[in-house]
Amino acid sequence: MRKLSLGLMALLIAACYFVPYVLLGSVESWKGAFLFWTLAGLLVIGVNAMATASFGSDDQ
């Protein structure tokens, strides 16, 4: 599960560089970027929750 979480996080990091500069670079309105960063933030929270779900009191 951790490898999947790390892979998803790597894809999200790549998307955070690619989408704003390449796909949204020519968009005049800020609404597209706001929507993207809102969704990216929620996805990062979800992936972090998934990555740390298996942590317990035994993991130190």
Domain count, the chain: 1
Residue 30 resides in a domain: yes
5-53 pLDDT tens trace: 889 999 999 998 888 888 877 877 777 788 889 999 999 999 999 888 8
Residue 48 resides in a domain: yes
Residue 19 resides in a domain: yes
Q: How far is CA 38 from CA 4, 17, 57, in A?
A: 22, 15, 32
Q: How many helices (H) and strands (E) does the chain have?
A: 2, 0
Range of the domain at 16: 2-52
Residue 57: what pLDDT? 56
Residue 60 resides in a domain: no
Residue 35 resides in a domain: yes
Residue 58 resides in a domain: no
Q: Is the pLDDT of residue 60 over 60?
A: no
